[in-house]
Amino acid sequence: MLFYLNALLVFTLDQFFKFLVHRSMYFGQSIPLLNEVVRLTYVRNTGAAFSLFVGFSPYLAAVGVLVTVFVIYYHFRVPANNYLMQFGLSCLLGGSIGNLTDRLVRHYVIDYIDITIWPVFNFADLMINLGVFLILLNYLRSPEEES
């Protein structure tokens, strides 16, 4: 149950932040937040991470569906007390569904976190990366560390 609650929280926060950006900013607008290092920049991404595969939105949506199905399937294969893996999978699920929702509803993903030295991204991207990191970390831990 906690798995789905966390995925729902990630999805909800992602969609809320995107809604705020979409309603409060105009496309292309950039607002400095931390000494020009971090900016809030409204970008519409029709590709994948870092604007790769622009124009392949239907295929990216299909990949999003496959990732969602795989994560839910895999969630049932992982012991419930493996909290690191379960949390990582739930972050991956919530982020994937957040970006998938954008692709299906808007035909683009709203990105807004701009750290100037990196392509603009969003909360869902952050949670997907955190999820992948935690899953990899889980596999790298020694068996004695697992509960």
Q: pLDDT tens digits for 104-133? A: 999 899 999 999 888 999 999 999 999 999
Q: Of 40, 39, 55, give the one whose Cα is nearest residue 108.
A: 55
For residue 35, what pLDDT is reported?
A: 84
Q: Which of 14, 102, 111, 114 is catalytic?
A: 111
Q: pLDDT tens digits for 51-89? A: 666 666 778 888 899 999 999 999 999 999 999 999 999
For residue 143, what pLDDT is reported?
A: 65
- Is 125 annotated in the active site? yes
Q: What is the pTM of this model?
A: 0.89
Burial of 28 from C-beta contacts in 10 A (0-12 / 13-18 / 19+): exposed
Asked, for residue 146, whether it belongs to a domain, the answer is: no
For residue 60, what pLDDT is reported?
A: 83
Asked, for residue 147, whether it belongs to a domain, the answer is: no
Asked, for residue 145, whether it belongs to a domain, the answer is: no
Confidence band for 144, pLDDT divided at 50, 70 and 90: low
Question: For the chain, how many structural domains are there in total?
Answer: 1
Task: Give 122's contacts (C-beta < 8 A, 6+ positions apart).
Answer: 14, 17, 18, 98, 99, 109, 110, 111, 112, 113
Asked, for residue 77, whether it belongs to a domain, the answer is: yes
> Structure tokens of 94?
């919530």
Q: Of 110, 96, 94, give the one whose Cα is nearest residue 46.
A: 110
For residue 52, what pLDDT is reported?
A: 61
Q: pLDDT tens digits for 21-37? A: 999 999 999 999 988 89
Q: Which of 14, 102, 114, 125 is catalytic?
A: 125
- Is 102 annotated in the active site? no
C-alpha 93, offset from chain centre: 8
Answer yes or no: is pLDDT of 49 > 70.
no
Asked, for residue 27, whether it belongs to a domain, the answer is: yes
Q: Which domain holds residue 66?
A: 2-139
Average pLDDT over residues 39-60: 77
For residue 59, what pLDDT is reported?
A: 81
Instruction: Give the HSE-up count for residue 56: Cα atoms under 13 Å, Cβ half-sphere.
Output: 12
Asked, for residue 144, whether it belongs to a domain, the answer is: no
